[in-house]
Homo-oligomer: A and B are copies of this chain.
Amino acid sequence: MYNHILLIKCKDQKGLISKVTTLLFENNLNIVGMKEHVDEQNNEFYLRCEFTENANLILLKESLTRLLPEDATININPRKKKDIVIYATKEYHCLSDLLVRNYFGELNADIKCVIANHDVLKDIVEKFNIPFYFISYENKSKIEFEEELLNITNQYKPDYIVLAKFMRIISSEFVDKFENKIINIHHSFLPAFIGANPYRQAFERGVKLIGATAHFVTNNLDEGPIITQKTNNVDHSFSVEDMSKSGKEIERIVLAEALQYVFEDRVFVTGNKTVIFD
Which residue numbers of A lie inside 8 Å of B, CB to CB?
14-15, 17-18, 21-22, 24-25, 28, 30-41, 92, 96-97, 100, 103-104, 124, 127-128, 188-192, 203-209, 211, 213, 223, 225-231, 233, 235-237, 239-240, 249, 253, 256, 271-276, 278
Contact = CB atoms under 8 A, between A and B. Distances in A.
Given A18-B18, A96-B104, A209-B229, 20 more contacts: A14-B30, A17-B31, A17-B34, A21-B21, A41-B240, A92-B104, A96-B100, A104-B124, A190-B190, A190-B213, A190-B229, A191-B223, A205-B273, A206-B272, A206-B275, A208-B229, A211-B231, A235-B276, A235-B278, A249-B253
A237 B37 contact: yes
Contact of A205 (B38, B209, B226, B235): B226
A188 B188 CA distance: 12
A30 B18 CA distance: 12
Contacts of A35: 35-36
A209 B249 CA distance: 18
Contacts of A24: 18
Where chain A touches its partner, the secondary structure class is mixed
A18 B25 contact: yes
A17 B14 contact: no
Number of this chain's copies in the assembly equals: 4
Contacts of A39: 236
Contact of A18 (B21, B104, B226, B249): B21
A17 to B, nearest CB: 4
Contacts of A38: 31-33
A91 to B, nearest CB: 10
